[in-house]
Amino acid sequence: MRTALDSSVILDVLTNDKKWADASQKSLIEAISLGSLVIGECVLAEITPALDSGDISTFLGEWGIQFLPTSQAAAVLAGEMYRTYLKRKGNAKRVLPDFLIGAHAQHHSDRLLARDRGYYRDYFSALVLIEPTL
């Protein structure tokens, strides 16, 4: 089973978030036991500021996280879902990377490990979503 990771779960562990670090680490360990972990461009870019440049490869290697570039189909899906969002909301309050992460997960994995705030379930209903629990 391939699990895509959202930035939120990785950043919980990297920053030792007081509320979420333990739950996110437990969820990551469980996901590793079931198969491989993948991230795309947006997640890699979002976690990079939390690490020194030399530590990125080390961190990914220690957790067995594979960088898997997105496909054209995933990028188009992200754009379509973003268009739907803009039509519903009328403005661009949510940033495009969230849609790129969801589309990447839907096209390149079996499920997404994320702390969802509703938009993954709303815009990517075909995506299996796993959430850390407190």
Query: Over the stretch 74-102, which tens digit does the pLDDT of each residue have?
Result: 999 999 998 998 888 766 666 789 999 99
Question: For position 92, what pLDDT does the model report?
Answer: 67
Closest by CA to 100, choosing from 77, 118, 117, 116, is 77
Q: pTM surpassing 0.75?
A: yes
pLDDT(21) > 80 = yes
- CB burial class (10 A; 0-12, 13-18, 19+) of residue 122? middle
The residue extents of the domains of the chain are 2-130
Tell me how far apart the alpha carbons of residues 32 and 48 are, in angstroms, rounded to a whole number: 21
Question: For position 90, what pLDDT does the model report?
Answer: 63
Q: Which CATH architecture has domain 2-130?
A: 3-Layer(aba) Sandwich (3.40)
Name which residue leads in pLDDT, 10 or 117.
10
Query: Over the stretch 22-68, which tens digit does the pLDDT of each residue have?
Result: 999 999 999 999 999 999 999 999 999 998 877 898 999 999 999 99
